[in-house]
Amino acid sequence: MNLAIQRDQTEFLYQQVVRLVRQLQQQQLLRVGDRLPSLRQLSQQLGISIPTVRQGYEELERLGMVEARDRSGYYLKAENRPTCRPARLPLSSEPVPVRQQSLLEQFYQAVHQPGILPLGIAQPSMAQPSEKALLRTMRRVTTLAGQQVMHYGPIDGFAPLKRQLAFRYLDVGLSLQPDELIITNGGQEALAIALQAVAKAGDVIAVESPTYFGVLELIETLGMMAVEIPVCPDDGIWLDDLQHALAHQPIRACVFSSSISNPMGSFMPDAQREALVLMLEQRGIPLIEDDVYGELYFGAARGRPAQCFSRKGLVLTCSSFSKTVAPSYRVGWLLPGRFGTEVWRLKRALSFASSLLNQWTMSEFIASGDYDRNLKKLRQVLKLNKERMMALVQQYFPEGTKVSNPQGGAVLWVELAKQADCSRLFQQALQQGISIAPGTLFSPSQKFCNCFRLSFGVRWQPELERAMQKLGILARQA
Would you state the pLDDT for residue 45?
Answer: 86
Would you state the pLDDT for residue 3?
Answer: 65
Q: Is 129-370 the same fold as 13-76?
A: no
Please identify, in words, the CATH class of the domain defined by 13-76.
Answer: mainly alpha
- Nearest by Cα to 13 from 42, 53, 45, 65: 53
- Spell out where 262-373 has E strands: 287-290, 315-320, 332-335
Would you state the pLDDT for residue 88?
Answer: 59
| Beta strands at 251-256 and 236-237: parallel, antiparallel or unpaired | unpaired
Would you state the pLDDT for residue 226?
Answer: 96
- pTM confidence score: 0.86
- Nearest by Cα to 364 from 323, 333, 321: 321
Q: What DSSP line would sit under 151-211, residue for residue?
A: S---TT--HHHHHHHHHHHHTTT----GGG-EEESHHHHHHHHHHHHH--TT-EEEEEES-
Contact between 434 and 467 under an 8 Å Cβ cutoff? The reply is: yes
How far is the C-alpha of 327 from the C-alpha of 186, rounded, in Å? Answer: 8
Q: Which amino acid is at 154?
A: P
Would you state the pLDDT for residue 92?
Answer: 55
Would you state the pLDDT for residue 81?
Answer: 58
Cα of 293 vs its chain's centroid, Å? 5
Q: Give the residues of the chain that fall short of pLDDT 70.
A: 1-4, 7-10, 78-93
| Beta strands at 402-403 and 411-415: parallel, antiparallel or unpaired | antiparallel
Q: Which residue ranges make up each domain of the chain?
A: 13-76, 129-370, 377-476
Contact between 63 and 194 under an 8 Å Cβ cutoff? The reply is: no
Which H or E run contains 75? strand 73-76
Cβ atoms < 10 Å from Cβ of 462: 7
Structural fold of domain 377-476: Aspartate Aminotransferase, domain 1 (3.90.1150)
Q: What architecture does CATH give domain 129-370?
A: 3-Layer(aba) Sandwich (3.40)
